[in-house]
């Protein structure tokens, strides 16, 4: 299932995309067990991708290769997201390279990670546009 072009564009994520993938990503970013967005940021920083994630938060454009995304997020998490989205792991890693920077940019309008309640509200707004 795909988002309609305008809804996807309103998220700053291009003209279309995999709705299931977007849901899986939003679940990951809101998962309290893994630390949600702050946990993901910390995990990427620990894997040497701190500059990349910082550029997403500060609205910088950063190219990222699917292999780097696979390394940063982890093969297990990519596999889990791929299963939920119904696409291959390689396709998931590739789509995440385009999807995550835009989502994180939208969730960090003040150029910092919001507190939990504000982050949850932002995620709910995004889900409401699906």
Question: What pLDDT digit, counting tens, does each position of 57-108 carry?
Answer: 876 566 678 888 888 888 998 999 999 888 898 888 888 888 888 888 877 8
Nearest partner of 105 among 58, 71, 63, judged by Cα = 58
- Cβ–Cβ under 8 Å, residues 88 and 78: no
pTM above 0.75, yes or no: no
Q: Which domain holds residue 30?
A: 5-128
| 56, containing H or E segment | helix 50-57
- Cβ–Cβ under 8 Å, residues 21 and 87: yes
Give me the phi and psi of 112, to 5 degrees please: -150, 160
Mean pLDDT of 107-116: 76
Q: Provide the domain count of the chain.
A: 1
- Cβ–Cβ under 8 Å, residues 8 and 103: no
The CATH number covering residue 85 comes to: 1.10.10.690
């Amino acid at each position: 299932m795909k988002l309609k072009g305008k809804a996807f564009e309103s998220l700053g994520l291009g003209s279309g995309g995999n709705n299931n993938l977007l849901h899986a990503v939003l679940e990951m970013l809101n998962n309290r067990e893994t630390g949600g967005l702050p946990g993901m940021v910390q995990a990427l920083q620990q894997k040497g991708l701190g500059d990349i994630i910082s550029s997403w938060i500060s609205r910088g454009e950063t190219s990222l290769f699917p292999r780097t995304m696979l390394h940063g997020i982890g093969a297990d998490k990519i596999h889990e997201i791929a299963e939920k989205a119904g696409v291959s792991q390689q396709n998931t890693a590739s789509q995440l390279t385009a999807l995550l920077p835009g989502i994180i940019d939208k969730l960090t309008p003040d150029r910092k990670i919001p507190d939990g309640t504000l982050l949850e509200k932002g995620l709910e707004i995004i889900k409401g546009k699906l």
